[in-house]
Chains A and B, each alone.
Chain A
Amino acid sequence: MKDFNLDSTRIPKHVAIIMDGNGRWAKKKGEMRIFGHTNGVGSVREALTAAVEIGVEYLTLYAFSSENWSRPKEEISALMDLLVQSIYNEVDELNSKGVKLATIGDVEFLPKSCQKALSEAKQSTKNNKKINSYSSIEL
Chain B
Amino acid sequence: MSYSSRREISLAVQKMTNEVVKGELESSAINEELISSYLSTSDYPDPELLIRTSGENRVSNFLMWQLAYTELYFTKILWPDFKKKNFYKAIFDYQKRERRFGKTSEQLID
Measured between C-beta atoms, what is the minimum distance from B14 to chain A in Å?
A: 14
Within 8 A of B (CB), among A48-78: 49-51, 53-54, 58, 60, 62, 64, 66
Query: Are the CB atoms of A16 and B88 closer together than 8 Å?
Result: no
Query: Are the CB atoms of A20 and B53 closer together than 8 Å?
Result: yes
Give the B interface residue count (CB, 8 A): 46
Within 8 A of A (CB), among B79-95: 79-92, 94-95
Q: Known contacts being A16-B50, A66-B54, A109-B2, is A104 close to B88, with CB within 8 Å?
A: no
Q: Which 6 A-B pairs have the closest CB atoms?
A: A21-B54, A105-B3, A21-B78, A136-B3, A12-B48, A39-B80
Report which B residues bind A (CB closer than 8 A).
1-4, 7-8, 40-41, 43-56, 59-60, 62-63, 67, 70, 77-92, 94-95
Cross-chain pairs A/B with CB under 8 angstroms, 25 sampled: A6-B92, A12-B48, A14-B44, A15-B47, A18-B50, A19-B53, A20-B54, A20-B79, A21-B53, A24-B78, A40-B79, A42-B80, A46-B86, A58-B45, A64-B62, A66-B56, A103-B1, A105-B4, A107-B1, A110-B1, A114-B1, A118-B1, A132-B43, A138-B2, A138-B3
